Amino acid sequence: MASFLQKARRIAYDSPGLDHTSNPRVKRLSRSDSLSQFIEALEVDDCVIVKDFTDRATLEEANEEVRPWLEKKEDGVKVGALQGKTRTVTGLIGKSATVREEFFADPLYQDLCEHFLALETTHWYGAEPLTTTSHPLLSISITFDIPPGTPAQGLHRDDKNHHARHTQAESYQKGRDILLGLFIPGCDTNTANGATRVVPGSHLWGDDLPNFGKDGTQGVVDAELLMGEALVMLGSLYHGGGSYEKPLGTSEKGARESRIVHAMFSCTGVHRQEEVSFLSYPIEAVKTYSKIVQERLGWKQSEPNLGWVDLKSPEYLLAN
Ligand SMILES: O=C(O)CCC(=O)C(=O)O
Ligand SMILES: [Fe+2]
């Protein structure tokens, strides 16, 4: 298995003939590729780019829906990996119908969440076995808008929030991750404007001090994305927003000066969500959301016995 994965890793990149073990890149796949190719890319590299995730018109709609919220934010926040410059819009599911129904509810992303995060367990009532499944939840939906003058984030794993522990491994075991992220850029992202930096393969590392080499760039790749593409990543991937060093006011007149990415993370159905869904999205609004979104927000119980209201799955509260 290990040698299969190593081989897959060598042939996984889209420029044949290059030794990408010393110059790693993120694999790009299309929607026409099979789900198992996406799964394999995530198992091998811990991230993958979907080339044709969305189109420009849909992306512009999402940007328009988010922009008023962004413009209300003068300053960035200092929390977690955010160091005060990056502007954020939280609770995106309620603020952008396009982010919610076109991006978060995307069947490819949801199928990958189901594959990596659904839990199926057999337990016993006396001698009677019962197998139940817990489906994933949305943990957080947030826009990251990096203005010029923003330094790079410290490389980190987002599953730190869930106190995840990792043992070093040769190859991927299903169930290893508790988060799956989806990053959709609202503009082209590149090294100059702070494309997200990722460390392919770091999902197999343990919890010791990570080694990014003397200058902190060993194994680090700028996941440059074009509008319409999306990056899918496991929660154990070392990553961080890149630096946008260009001074403010040097862009062409009228050009938007920020790097905008709409991000979502899903977690397993038995972990605590980063954003408290029931306080973030009022029930009257949730009634208008698609079924899959309602379920991922926690309006369906996790089998066997989590997330009840009065010992019942809460979707009955959405019925009228
Ligand atoms: O802005 C980005 O590219 C990534 C942000 C991030 O990883 C974080 O704030 O946890
Ligand atoms: Fe992060």
Mutate to test the pocket of ligand 1, among 153, 193, 197, 236 (most ligand atoms within 8 A of CB): 153
Counting ligands in written order, which one lies closest to the CA of residue 80? 1
Q: If you take atom 5 of ligand 1, which residue's CA is the nearest one?
A: 241
The pTM of the full predicted model, rounded to 2 decimals, is 0.90
Q: Distances in Å between the alpha carbon of 114 and those of 35, 133, 229?
A: 12, 10, 21
Taking the centre of ligand 2 as the mean of its atom positions, its distance from the CA of residue 75, in whole angstroms, is 19
pLDDT of residue 256: 58
pLDDT of residue 247: 63
pLDDT profile of the chain (320 residues), mean per 10: 42 37 76 98 96 97 96 78 85 98 98 98 97 98 93 96 97 96 97 96 97 94 97 98 77 70 98 97 98 98 97 95
Which residues are CB-neighbours of 180 under 8 A, at least 6 positions away?
A: 109, 112, 113, 116, 117, 136, 232, 233, 234, 235, 265, 266
pLDDT of residue 9: 40
Taking the centre of ligand 2 as the mean of its atom positions, its distance from the CA of residue 250, in whole angstroms, is 28
Sign of torsion over alpha carbons 158, 272, 53, 245: negative
pLDDT of residue 232: 98
Ligand 2 is an ion; its neighbours by CB within 5 Å are 158
Is the shortest distance between the CB of 235 and ligand 1 below 6 Å? no
- Strand 259-267's sheet: what is its strand order? 28-29, 47-50, 230-234, 179-185, 259-267, 137-146, 87-90
The residue type of 199 is V
How many other CB atoms are there within 10 angstroms of residue 201's CB atom?
18
Mutate to test the pocket of ligand 1, among 143, 144, 261 (most ligand atoms within 8 A of CB): 144
Taking the centre of ligand 1 as the mean of its atom positions, its distance from the CA of residue 211, in whole angstroms, is 20
- DSSP H stretches of helix in the chain: 2-11, 35-45, 56-71, 92-95, 97-98, 107-117, 277-280, 283-286, 291-294
pLDDT of residue 194: 95
Mutate to test the pocket of ligand 1, among 233, 239, 243, 274 (most ligand atoms within 8 A of CB): 239
Is the shortest distance between the CB of 48 and ligand 1 below 6 Å? no
Domains of the chain: 4-319 (2.60.120.620)
Taking the centre of ligand 2 as the mean of its atom positions, its distance from the CA of residue 89, in whole angstroms, is 15
Taking the centre of ligand 1 as the mean of its atom positions, its distance from the CA of residue 242, in whole angstroms, is 8
Task: Say if residues 122 and 183 touch (Cβ distance below 8 Å).
Answer: no
Query: Could you give the 3-state DSSP secondary structure of residue 47?
Result: strand
Is the shortest distance between the CB of 158 and ligand 1 below 6 Å? yes
pLDDT of residue 14: 38
Q: Which of 311, 287, 295 is nearest to 104 (CA)?
A: 295
Atom of ligand 1 nearest to the CA of 239: 7
The β-bridge partners of 130 are 123
- How far is the C-alpha of 117 from the C-alpha of 112, rounded, in Å? 8
Where do we find the tokens 């730190």? 160
- How far is the C-alpha of 162 from the C-alpha of 177, rounded, in Å? 11
Mutate to test the pocket of ligand 1, among 196, 237, 262, 275 (most ligand atoms within 8 A of CB): 196
pLDDT of residue 84: 73
pLDDT of residue 20: 38
pLDDT of residue 248: 57
